[in-house]
Amino acid sequence: MGLQIHQLEPSGFRTDWAGRSMDFGEKTLELYDHVNAKKNVKEYVGDPTKAAQVFYDLATMKDPPIRCVIDKEAHKMINAKHDEHFKSVKQFEKWSNSTDVDE
């Protein structure tokens, strides 16, 4: 069938998604300030025009990567998560290696 699946991992882009294209409620909850799209929209570093070109380039590549991180912020976030995961794996490596059958 020629279908391919690829995972694109962007962070935020400076679009009108959280601007005039979005309707916001009157009330906000302080608990969710960290995900307040209207407040955070100017903090996004991604350029949507550049991202569109990357998406197109990936879609037309002969052998595109299965996973592709799209912008600097996403790259930074993914590296931090991997570092955290690796630290945890190393911390409990002794336990991980203690469960094999003794031969």
Domain locations along the chain: 7-94
Q: What contacts 33, CB < 8 A, 6 or more positions away?
A: 39
pLDDT tens digits along 39-58: 655 677 788 999 999 999 99
Q: Would you place residue 16 in the very low, low, confident or very high pLDDT band (cuts 50, 70, 90)?
A: confident
This model's pTM is above 0.75: no
Length of the chain: 103
User: Between 2 and 18, whose confidence is greater?
Assistant: 2
Burial class (CB in 10 A: 0-12, 13-18, 19+), 71: buried
